Amino acid sequence: MDDGRRTKDEKIVPRPSERKRTDVLHPSEYIIFIVGPTASGKSEVAYLLAGHLRGEIVSCDSMLIYKEPSVITAKPSTAVLAAVKHHFVGNISVERSYNVFDYYNQARKQILELHGRGVTTIVCGGSGLYVKALCDGIFEDPGHDELVRRELTLRAQRQGLDVLHRELCNVDPQAAAKISISDARRIIRALEVYYTSGMPISRKQKQAKGLGSEFPVRIFGLRLKRTILYDRINARTEKMFEQGAVYEVKELRKRQLSITAQKIIGLQEIGGFLDGRYDRNTALELMKKNTRNFAKRQMTWFRGDKRIIWIDRDDLTSEQVCAVILKELE
């Protein structure tokens, strides 16, 4: 996200004229992804793109799935939601937990349905794990066996993680080779999958089937210089406070928030103000800081995906970014 962002392997646009095409697809044949850090303008670009292509938007944001919060999750306006069909925005209550397995199964089904009707599908969001699940697939979750997990956890405490790691080497050497001997969570999870399902987790992961293996996928990433992105984050956070973020959090705290909903940025920061631990301005600055840190983590995740066609939008409006993407899809 700094000024030295580009590597020799990254794709930088606009540069459609440099690429030789052997075949040309209609945009509706692609599954189009718009990704990037929070406050990079993904939602607006996706909205404009959907308007040009008469498409529908599939949200890939783990917090937009919740119906009650609107301000602190930067939910699209009522007018935008009415103008372009959005999926996975405001579907469930904050009292329900929601994970990547839920999203993968439901979003995949929705995307296949849209694609089958010839509707251009635009997947938009910054939840990297959700994007990866859709593109690359995710193995069928065998569920959780609390007894098995508890036993493995106790054994790790009594015998040491090295013993469990050696055990994993015996039953699933491929998984063991990728898991650090000090990574208790992943070691225990891999053994839990094996003892619960009878199949190594590495084999299950190979069975995963993502959209990328079935359809032409184009992933566009929106990127800005760090100073510009941080200014956008700060300004948007201030606007959230003006729009009633404090009141929204106060109302949300009256509910039994699920573990996943508790991760919405703003709940803890504003909660500290509501509990009297610090003043309103401190809550605002904490929310800005934590959102900036979140954006850094998002960019770290997305940098690892060489399929992403990056668009440096520092001086580009959303309309101009949309035009670049349309040109790339020609």
Are both 158 and 255 inside the same structural domain?
no
Are both 218 and 286 inside the same structural domain?
yes
Are both 214 and 201 inside the same structural domain?
no
Q: Please tell me whether residue 239 adopts helix, strand or coil conformation.
A: helix
Please, are residues 190 and 217 in contact by the beta-carbon 8 Å criterion? no
Please state the rounded mean pLDDT for residues 172-185: 91
| Range from 56-65, 133-142, 192-201 that averages highest in pLDDT | 56-65
Structural domains of the chain, count: 2
The pLDDT-based confidence of 214 (bands split at 50, 70, 90) is confident
The pLDDT-based confidence of 230 (bands split at 50, 70, 90) is very high
Are both 248 and 106 inside the same structural domain?
yes
Whether the predicted pLDDT of 140 surpasses 70: no
Whether the predicted pLDDT of 5 surpasses 60: no
Are both 92 and 218 inside the same structural domain?
yes
Please state the rounded mean pLDDT for residues 248-265: 96
The pLDDT-based confidence of 164 (bands split at 50, 70, 90) is very high
Picking from 207, 223, 242, the residue at the C-terminal end of a domain is: 207
Whether the predicted pLDDT of 204 surpasses 90: no
Percent of the chain past pLDDT 70, that is, above it, reads: 90
Question: What is the model's pTM?
Answer: 0.80
Whether the predicted pLDDT of 190 surpasses 80: yes
Are both 203 and 322 inside the same structural domain?
no
Residues 6+ apart with CB under 8 A from 290: 265, 269
Please state the rounded mean pLDDT for residues 198-210: 78
Would you say residue 1 lies in a domain?
Answer: no
Are both 131 and 267 inside the same structural domain?
yes
Are both 120 and 92 inside the same structural domain?
yes
Picking from 156, 188, 207, the residue at the C-terminal end of a domain is: 207
CATH at 158 = 1.10.20.140
Are both 252 and 267 inside the same structural domain?
yes
Whether the predicted pLDDT of 226 surpasses 90: yes
Strand ordering across the sheet containing 217-223: 11-13, 308-312, 217-223, 31-35, 121-124, 56-59, 86-87
Are both 193 and 246 inside the same structural domain?
no
- Range of 250's domain? 11-138+210-328
Please state the rounded mean pLDDT for residues 158-163: 93
- pLDDT at 23 (0 to 100): 57
Picking from 207, 229, 251, the residue at the C-terminal end of a domain is: 207
- pLDDT at 9 (0 to 100): 47
Are both 262 and 165 inside the same structural domain?
no
- pLDDT at 137 (0 to 100): 87
CA distance 98 to 113: 22
Please state the rounded mean pLDDT for residues 112-141: 91
* More confident position, 76 or 8: 76
Percent of the chain past pLDDT 90, that is, above it, reads: 76
pLDDT digits (tens, 9 = 90+) for 86-105: 999 999 999 999 988 899 99
DSSP string, 123-145: EE---HHHHHHHHH--PPP----
* More confident position, 80 or 147: 80
Whether the predicted pLDDT of 22 surpasses 60: no
Buried/exposed 231-255: b ≥16 CB within 10 Å, e otherwise = ebbbeebeebbeeebbebbeebeee
Would you say residue 179 lies in a domain?
Answer: yes
Please state the rounded mean pLDDT for residues 276-280: 98
CATH at 65 = 3.40.50.300
Please provide the size of the chain in residues. Answer: 330
